[in-house]
Chains A and B, each alone.
Chain A
Amino acid sequence: MEAHDASRTTSAMLAALADPQNAQAWEAFDARYRPILIGFARNLGYNEHDAAEAAQETVVRFLAEWRDGKYDKSRGRLGAWLVGIMRFRLLDQRRQRATANIGRGESAMINMDDDASMSQVWERERRESVLRESLEELRRTSRSDPKTVKAFEMLVYHTLAPKVVADELGMSLHDVYLAKSRVAARLREIVARLELAYNEEPA
């Protein structure tokens, strides 16, 4: 199984993590959650470097806690658990900085004591991760109908006028709109599938 396996359910990933020999499970977990954790910290106002460092520590810490049996699924969603560890890591970073008297201009940071907003930020990051992953899947499968996906990309991402897209790709205007509608439907379907896979509700 590939490490970056977007369609694997979170529950299956967690089950596989129990096996210390299973490096692939660890890589798959890391590939899914580390970007979300980084996005989460970036949303809180942390710079790329600090966010990446805290995310890495969080994943490592989670793994240790999971294997020690400290993560109790009945006590809440996986996301909440990860956010808990991440918050602690970020606060720890801040404390160290304060001790070392390193100013980092962190005035824009939001209040990390607000659980509701923490949860919102996490949720947004998770959703965006799903969307990005859906686009990746679209890219991986675009060979089957490259012209349709290209028309979609030019129209939606390059915001080119439909007429320009039609001329460039030798399509009718109607087909350009049809391409947009079809890719949107395909993306919806992928997103729905990945949402199920990313489902963090306790089993």
Chain B
Amino acid sequence: MRRPELTDVGSGDGCMSVERLEAIAAGDVGTPSESGHISFCSSCAELLAAIKGDNAFLEEVKGAGPIRRSLVPPDALDDGPVPGYKLLGELHRGGQGVVYRAEQLATRRSCAVKRMLGGGLASGRARRRFEREVELVASMRHPGVVTLYESGVARDGEPFFAMELVAGERFDAYIRMSVLSTRQIIELFRSVVDAVAYAHRRGVIHRDLKPGNVLVDTDGNPRVLDFGLARPMENSAAGMLEGFGGAGGETVAGEFLGTFAYAAPEQLRGDPDLIDSRIDVYALGVMLYEALSGSKPFSSAANVADLLLQRLEARPKRPSEVREGIDRDLDVITLKLLDPDPDRRYGTADELRDELDRYLDGKPILAREDSFVYVACKTIRRHWVASSAAGIFLLLIVGASVALSVAYAKTDIALGKAQKSLSSLKTSMTNVDPELGRGSSQLGVHEFLTLVTEQVNEELGDDPELLSGILVTLGLVHLGFDDAEGGRDAIERAHAMRSAAYSRSECTTEDLAEVEFALARLRFNLGDFLASERAYQAALALYEDALGPHALATVETQRQLASALRAQGKFADARTNLKLAFERSASLEVTRESAIAKAAILNGMAALGRAEGDVAGTLPLYREALDALAPYVDADDFRVGRTLYSIALMQESLGEKTQATQNAKEAHRILLLRKGPEARSTKEAAALLARLLGEVQ
């Protein structure tokens, strides 16, 4: 017989509710009418018997022993956004993420949960930065650094991490509210410095130290939080390149991260090359200055450029001039921390802590050796500064990309030469400083590149080998900005120089191949496809000779050759070359560069199909190219933009207007960001978008 279920509760007159039946089964004496009903109502009687049977069975189960842990995993009942945690309210919303007060359901302990801002819209770089914070904090164990409990993925697919919740006051509020002697302030500050020193020893720079990121807990111990902007120190040559925005760096040149009031001048300039542990030392200086004097060392400024000038040139008042009773030694220590020249600061937080220990022990401090006369008389090195923030960023982005390209393109050149070329570039760029040289705040990217090219010619005129290398790179940067005319002179000069050098056996086959390749790209961009084809043929033969058929440069050149052939309508030849490039690419070592090259070949095949009129067949190829690119480049990489543009174009022809519009919008956004409004590719995307929006509406 089927066991009755509670849902089978009787519906007849006087039938009893499950609650009543349960109560009776549990020992409640029913009323006479209830007893009477049960005696003649089979459904109620069966249900009562079933409940009693269940109760007896469950008693037996319980008799097997207590359950040691809940039958339900702690997070199973939770349908909140972060599995395993109950979010109890926002604690802080910053540039990098939102921090919530939360309860860890498994342990019932209070904690803080940090989630990335932006959800699915967050950029790849923001995500990597977030993940890096998790790694960095997880790697640190220090009483002055918050402990990471757990990291994971929230229900929306975005990463989160849970950390210790520090109940306490902000560092500055704590000092304001507590009546502390100068000595107590220094002792408290020393603990902060000790935690930062620990991070520095682990190779981590915080990059956003400020009173809001230091909480003093209820025991009076300061805790450093928010390593959201932290990054590992880079000491190697590779690290230096990474600082320029190369592989693995989460900051691009010119991008400012941090809090202005606590940022060192080199951080304000956004020059990743100059960023090391001394920016934390500077921030500690601002914090110490405020803690001692009650006010900030610098007044606020209207914009970054003013702020930068102020940091470089203004000398803050001594803390003892702002507030009485501050020891002269502390003046010296604080001003040393705030020195605009990183070389004049304490090198690491360790050095600062040792200095504070000397102060607390009543010993002479080392900074006293830095005499006032020296400080007053020293020449403050003038740095090139444009009069607008945009100018600074522009100069840096271009400058860094040139330096990076040079270093990458010439990986085999001796370090000395690399240094020489970098220092020449620096000089060249100094000469376009609006104050010192010929630049102006209105300087556009093309004018800037032209000026740098001229300066490079002057600086390196005596070293044709280096000059030709930099000219090639500068020429390619011009092409990158779709300015073929601007790059023409540099590339043609470099080509002439290299060809002459090659005939004298003064440069390698690979060097000549490089310049032939650049020339081919130039010709292509100028619309002279036949000349482009010939130059690519020459570059291909040279690369095959120098590096063999299966080198990345060879494969890349062959792909470009196919583009030049396609542009002339030589589809069969283009296909043959693409096929060969594709086959050759199969044996390339799997690297970011080779993956990008393979995606480019797929793009090339799609473009060829398109040129031949096979619209439907090309769409999957573009999609494949996009998939191949995705793991290796940022979501807003220009190649993604170009591919999305092509996809949108195909979708337009196929009548898929909505998807086409969506992709065209994204393509336009990326290309505008990467190439600027004047670039041909950006204009093409804008035109497509305008066309689609016109049709969609």
Q: Which residues of A contact B (CB under 8 A)?
A: 127-129, 131-132, 134-135, 138-139, 142-143, 146-147, 149-150, 152-153, 156-157, 162, 173-174, 177-178, 180-181, 184-185, 187-188
Contacts and interface: CB of A to CB of B under 8 A. Distances in A.
B57 A184 contact: yes
Contacts of B58: 156, 180, 184, 187
A200 B63 CA distance: 23
Nearest to A178: B6
B66 interface: yes
Interface string B1-38: 00101110000000001110010000000000000000
Nearest to A139: B71
Given A128-B63, A131-B60, A156-B62, A177 B22 contact: yes
B65 A173 contact: no
Nearest to B4: A181
A137 B70 CA distance: 13
24 contacts: A132-B65, A134-B61, A139-B69, A139-B70, A142-B73, A143-B72, A146-B73, A149-B72, A150-B71, A150-B72, A153-B71, A156-B58, A157-B71, A162-B19, A162-B22, A174-B6, A174-B18, A177-B6, A177-B18, A178-B6, A178-B18, A181-B50, A187-B57, A187-B58
B391 to A, nearest CB: 58
A173 to B, nearest CB: 6
Given A131-B60, A134-B61, A135-B61, A153 B19 contact: no
A178 B6 CA distance: 6
A182 B62 CA distance: 16
Contacts of B72: 139, 142-143, 146, 149-150, 153
A132 to B, nearest CB: 5
Nearest to A138: B71
Contacts of A156: 58, 62
Taking each of B3, B58, B69, B72, which has the highest tally of chain A beta carbons within 10 Å of its own beta carbon? B72
Scoring A128, A153, A181 by chain B CB atoms within 10 A of each residue's CB, the highest score goes to A181
B7 A178 contact: yes
Contact of A185 (B3, B22, B51, B63): B3
B103 to A, nearest CB: 16
Given A132-B65, A147-B77, A181-B54, A174 B71 contact: no
A180 B58 CA distance: 9
B67 interface: yes
Interface in B37-81: 50-51, 54, 57-58, 60-67, 69-73, 76-77
A162 B6 CA distance: 15
A133 to B, nearest CB: 9
Given A146-B73, A177-B6, A184-B57, 12 more contacts: A128-B63, A128-B64, A129-B64, A139-B69, A142-B76, A143-B73, A143-B76, A153-B71, A174-B6, A174-B19, A185-B3, A187-B58
A146 B18 CA distance: 22
Contact of B71 (A152, A180, A181): A152
Contacts of A146: 72-73, 76-77
A149 B64 contact: no
B130 to A, nearest CB: 28
B65 A180 contact: no
B60 to A, nearest CB: 7
Nearest to A181: B6
A153 B67 contact: yes
Given A128-B64, A174-B18, A178-B7, A188 B57 contact: yes
B66 A157 contact: yes
A104 B17 CA distance: 56
Contacts of B3: 185
A52 to B, nearest CB: 16
B54 A184 contact: yes
Chain A CB within 10 Å, residue with most, of B60, B61, B65? B61
Given A142-B72, A143-B73, A181 B5 contact: yes
